[in-house]
């Protein structure tokens, strides 16, 4: 399994699958997961001739559990090291949830020289936190409750989230997947407590507004209108308006995890956008 030693000695785990000579697609995962959460899309696109690359964010999955650096600036600087190491160019960058924030801030901070397109899936930009200027956001008490739940019983909290709002399994008539719940729990528990805890502040309080305005490549925004984790009114709809070149698709009844639940539809939308 490939690892890259970063500037501070931490090791970043990554997957590099598919056609080594194919066009490159990168994936950034959501909180508190790992690159495993993208496996359906990675296999699908690799089968269509692409080279697909996904990392475990520091502190997550198989990467080093660092005590410090659990913030967006560090995360995207790690990515730039990985992309330089792999000589990434003319690629498509895809991110879900917290990973969508990572994509947005990477492109805002490091520019678009390596990428020709991007995709945000249920992504946290521009700002999840409710403020006087962001009335559609969520109250800080919501994120405080996440932190309290982690301190009280992280293992149970990491069962409750996927059993309910993350996949939308708490909606009437929805068929619950025990496998999806167990996979989410396993990925979450493999993430360090410190990284998962610190990242709550990172994904909820980071303002990506200026990053979105800087992105000068086409961006596909995919968001479920029943996203209970990252409400579409505070995120996808606003991001699509701020991005200079956006295309928005709303998944009717879609949960936060449309790439895990609406797999065939998301895969087709990604392939169509990448090929367009």
Tokens of 149: 């739940």
pLDDT higher than threshold 90 for residue 62: yes
Task: Give per-residue pLDDT as tens, 75-125.
Answer: 999 999 999 999 999 999 999 999 999 999 999 999 999 999 999 999 999
Mean pLDDT score, 183-192: 98
For residue 194, which of 29, 37, 58, 97 has the smallest C-alpha distance?
Answer: 58
Mean pLDDT score, 177-192: 98
pLDDT higher than threshold 80 for residue 245: yes
pLDDT higher than threshold 70 for residue 1: no
CB atoms within 10 A of CB 173: 4
Query: What residues are labeled active site?
Result: 97, 227, 256
pTM > 0.95: yes
Task: Give per-residue pLDDT as tens, 34-60.
Answer: 999 999 999 999 999 999 999 999 999
For residue 229, give the DSSP letter: S
CB atoms within 10 A of CB 104: 32
CB atoms within 10 A of CB 244: 12
Domains, the chain, in order of start with CATH, read 3-275 (3.40.50.1820)
Compute the distance between CA of residue 11 and CA of residue 57 in angstroms, rounded to an integer. Answer: 10
Where does residue 59 fall: left (phi above 0), alpha (psi -120 to 50 degrees), or beta otherwise?
left
Residues contacting 204, CB < 8 A, separation 6+: 124, 128, 129, 138, 140, 143
Q: How confident is the model at residue 29 (pLDDT cuts 50, 70, 90)?
A: very high
Give the model's pLDDT for residue 232. Answer: 97
**CA 36 remoteness from chain centre:** 12
3-class DSSP assignment, residue 132: coil
């Amino acid at each position: 399994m490939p690892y890259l030693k970063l500037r501070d000695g931490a090791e970043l785990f990554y997957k590099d699958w598919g056609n080594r000579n194919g066009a490159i697609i990168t994936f950034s995962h959501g909180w508190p997961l790992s690159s495993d959460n993208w496996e359906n899309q990675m296999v699908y696109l690799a089968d269509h001739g692409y080279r697909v690359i996904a990392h475990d964010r520091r502190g997550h999955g198989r990467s080093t559990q660092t005590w410090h650096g659990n913030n967006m600036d560090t995360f995207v600087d790690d990515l730039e090291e990985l992309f330089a190491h792999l000589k990434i160019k003319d690629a498509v960058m895809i991110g879900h949830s917290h990973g969508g924030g990572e994509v947005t801030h990477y492109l805002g901070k490091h520019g678009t020289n390596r990428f020709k397109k991007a995709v945000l899936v249920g992504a946290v930009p521009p700002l999840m936190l409710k403020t006087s200027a962001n009335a559609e956001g969520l109250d800080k008490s919501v994120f405080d409750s996440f932190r309290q739940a982690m301190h009280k019983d992280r293992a149970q909290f990491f069962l409750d989230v996927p059993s309910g709002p993350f996949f939308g399994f708490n909606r009437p008539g929805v068929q619950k997947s025990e496998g999806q719940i167990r996979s989410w729990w396993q990925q979450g528990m493999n993430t360090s407590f410190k990284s998962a805890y610190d990242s709550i502040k990172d994904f909820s309080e980071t303002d990506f507004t200026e990053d979105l305005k800087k992105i000068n490549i086409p961006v596909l925004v995919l968001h479920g209108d029943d996203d209970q984790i990252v409400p579409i009114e505070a995120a996808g709809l606003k991001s699509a308006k701020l991005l200079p070149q956006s295309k928005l698709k709303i998944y009717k009844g879609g949960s936060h995890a449309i790439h895990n639940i609406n797999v065939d539809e998301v895969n087709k939308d990604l392939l169509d956008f990448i090929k367009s």
